[in-house]
Structure 1
Amino acid sequence: MQTSIIQADARATSGKLVLSMASTPEELREVQRLRYKVFIESMGLSALQRADGLDSDEFDEHCDHLIVRDSDTLMVVGTYRLLSANRARKLGRLYSEGEFDLGRLNNIRNRIVEAGRACIHPDYRGGSVIMLLWSGLAEYMRRENAEFLVGCASISLADGGHNAVAVYQQLIAKNLAPIEYRVTPHLPFPFSKLEAAQKPQVPALLKGYMRSGAWICGEPAWDPDFESADLFLLMPLANLDSRYARHYGVSELQAA
């Protein structure tokens, strides 16, 4: 594991919840077990089921992992995976590049933090966990001198993709990135061939990003493994609306 950004003697707390950075292989496995429960078991993705019950990939060892732990039960109840610009450079790519061509972002790569794999245990989706995770993210970006947050936000295709079409059409009307920040999906989601749902249901985390000033950087990619349409987001920290600069819209956020 990499050196922790949030030191053990400087943990943030909220009631019985404690925020820290994973610093041991055991803590990383706790993170991976939670992700498996949220992303694979709860979604019934049989094709991704594994005997070890862990959601893991090659990026985990290169990333920092924010964790929120219940101090009463010691259970990890929330996590966020962060990849700094320095580690992305050593690795040779961002996670998002598996889905998108990010060539137009080359001039800002040294000022980027990529965030992903945000998830919260189903019993703890009341706002406090995501508030701690976002406070940790803000501190991480400050220490990395990062000016941009990037990552993918997923929309379930459980309804055949109609909601994904409606959400995309609704959000790009006001949140489409300037042309110089546009990206191209490797495997485009065929949104133009589907009818949009009448009432878009925007995922909570995506809604929070939009309210905080994030941009959608182009058409969605199709992720057949996780059965989702993925949007690439970029948020300049300068775009943070003053109403959300303190809390990042956390009162309505749950999991991604």
Structure 2
Amino acid sequence: MRLLTTPADANLSSSKLSLSLATTPEEVREVQRLRYKVFIETMNLSALANAEGLDKDEFDDYCDHLIVRDNKTLSVVGTYRVMSPHAARRMGKFYSEQEFDLSRLDNIRNSICEAGRACIHPDYRSGAVIMLLWAGIADFMRRERCDYLMGCASVSLADGGHNAAALYHAFRENNMAPQEYSVTPHTAFPIEEREAGHQPQVPPLLRGYLRSGAWVCGEPAWDPDFHSADFFLLLPLAKLDGRYARHYLKESRAA
């Protein structure tokens, strides 16, 4: 199902990008191959390497997969995985529930859409791809009648976790969710073991969530497979920053 097609810069002025939802098993495999290249090969996660060259899990069969293609090469250059409340009921849980206790969100569970596995090819990180993906998420949420977007944003632990700890301390000052929306990690990243005073560096995906108005809902979880600290974020559409709301919802209406 085609959601949106629009011209956009992709590091080459002659390129055009298009946004769609994966509708065939082969398109899902294209998504999984891109994720493998970015998440496993680029990050040298040898423990997750496989002969198929696919990054996949049991949630892929229950989720929708947003695809951004370069219309010139037809290559998949960006993707986002989205899960509706209905899909989560069929699966039995949201992906985030593997890392966090979400029981405090039970009262809004049927109006939450989950986004994850954001992935953009290194040659297409000028901003155009992520803007298309966010427009696709906005359209998906509107069709599913969801009022909240949730997801996890990963912070690399390659520096020993000092940046993750610094980010958490910074978020406690300005970005924490109200208590009624707080979540608890099943395996918390040990913040207290890291030195204070480190200057936080915010990864682009996490920065985008925060600029849109998202809350950080508690301490990060430790993901040993991807060697990351994962922050749980919740974005109420009612809180969506006006500039971003106008842009994303305008783009989604063009779908």
Tell me the TM-score normalised to structure 1 length.
0.92
Deviates more, 1:238-247 or 1:161-170: 238-247
Q: Tell me what 1:19 maps to.
A: 19
Alpha carbons 1:162, 1:197 under 8 Å: kept = no
**Residues 69-127 of structure 1: per-residue CA shift (max 9 Å, x gap):** 00000000000000000110111100000000111111111000000000100000000
1:195 aligns with 2:195: yes
Alignment of 1:41-190 (within 5 A): 41-190=41-190
Question: 1:246 is paired with a residue of what secondary structure?
Answer: helix
For 1:33 and 1:151, locate their aligned partners in 2 and report how far apart those are by CA, in whole Å. Answer: 22
The amino acid that maps onto 2:104 is R
Closer, same or farther in 2 for the Cα pair 1:75/1:156, shift >3 Å? same
Report if aligned partners of 1:177, 1:216 keep a CA contact under 8 Å in 2: yes
- Of 226-235 and 166-175, deviating more is 166-175
- Does the CA contact (< 8 Å) of 1:177 and 1:215 recur in 2? yes
Query: Quick one: distance in 1 between partners of 2:103 and 2:179?
Result: 12
- Is the CA contact 2:4–2:136 (under 8 Å) kept in the aligned structure 1? no
2:13 corresponds to: none
Measured after TM superposition, the shift of residue 201 of structure 1 is 0.6
Offset of 1:236 from its aligned partner?
A: 0.3
CA distance in 2, matches of 1:104, 1:192: 25
- 1:227 equivalent to 2:227? Answer yes
Alignment partner, residue 4 of structure 1 = none
State the match for 2:11 in structure 1: none
User: For residues 226 and 197 of structure 1, what CA distance do their matches in structure 2 show?
Assistant: 25
Cα shift at 1:231: 0.6
1:237 pairs with 2:230: no
Displacement of 1:208 in angstroms is: 1.1
Structure 1 gap ranges (5+): 1-6, 249-256
In structure 2, list runs of 5 or more residues that go unmatched.
Answer: 9-15, 249-255
Q: Greater shift after overlay, 48-57 or 14-23?
A: 14-23
Structure 2 match to 1:3: none
The 1-side partners of 2:41 and 2:243 are apart by: 36
CA distance in 2, matches of 1:196, 1:75: 44
Percent of aligned pairs with the same residue? Answer: 68
1:197 is displaced (CA, Å) by 5.6
Code of the aligned partner of 1:235: L
Q: Please report the TM-score for the alignment, with normalisation by the length of structure 2.
A: 0.92
**What amino acid is aligned across from residue 174 of structure 1 in structure 2?**
N
| 8 Å CA contact 1:163, 1:196 repeated in 2 | no
